[in-house]
Amino acid sequence: MGNAIRKLRIGVLISGSGTNLQVILDGAAKDVLDVDVRVVISNKAEAFGLERARQAGVAAVHVDPTSFPDASAYNIAVREVLVEHGVDFVVMAGYMKLLGTEVLDAFPNRVLNIHPALLPSFPGAHGISDAFDYGVKVTGVTVHFANAVFDEGPIIAQEPVHVAEDDTLETLEAKIHEVEYRLYPAALQLLAEGRLIIEGRKVRIR
């Protein structure tokens, strides 16, 4: 930690409240996380995460999908913002769009995602409620490298969360988020320390 290693230059993609982004910004500010958040990009103008970025003195950019003729043009615009800000790794934190190959190909094995379920179970936009409604006794959180398939790609870290008899969707959500706020920074720190090695489908931690 601290100054020993060069900081990981990241761009964070969001669509909403950005509580995971906030944990990353806080870790970077306190110097407990060796990342330098260069830019935060949202596909939604109203995403509160953009405000969190501004508060932290980080560039906040809304790239509006509706102002481009198609998804490819939109993804090229996102890529341009990432490149302009000197980003080395892309961190998706509640980004609710499929990231295009236009971005993925520019950052091979350099895009991360967090998902609020134990992948490959319950992929998609409603991981917590899908698991809750299914009646599973254990769900959890997954951090993984992203590829062109939604919620796929080599798994970096997972942590289980038990569903208690008296859990409601709300209490389960709270438990999942608590784990997210630990697991994502931990994975990013491993990445910053150069300790994640992708071997085919698997990620080895050295």
CB of 3 to ligand GRF, least distance (A): 28
**Residue 18 is a binding residue for ligand GRF (CB under 6 A):** yes
Helix (H), strand (E), coil (C) string for 129-178: HHHHHHCCCEEEEEEEECCCCCCCCCEEEEEEEECCCCCCHHHHHHHHHH
The pairing of strands 59-62 and 138-145 is: unpaired
Which of the residues are catalytic?
115
DSSP 98: P
- Give the range of 3-11, 38-46, 81-89, 109-117 binding ligand GRF by CB under 6 A: 109-117
State the virtual CA torsion across 75, 23, 138, 146 in degrees, nearest 10: 20
Sign of CA dihedral 90, 62, 18, 98: negative
Q: Residue 25 or residue 196: which is nearer to ligand GRF going by CB?
A: 25
Q: Residue 76 or residue 98: which is nearer to ligand GRF going by CB?
A: 98
CB of 82 to ligand GRF, least distance (A): 19
Q: Residue 114 or residue 156: which is nearer to ligand GRF going by CB?
A: 114
Q: Which residues bind ligand GRF (CB under 6 A)?
A: 14, 16-21, 49, 93-94, 114-116, 180
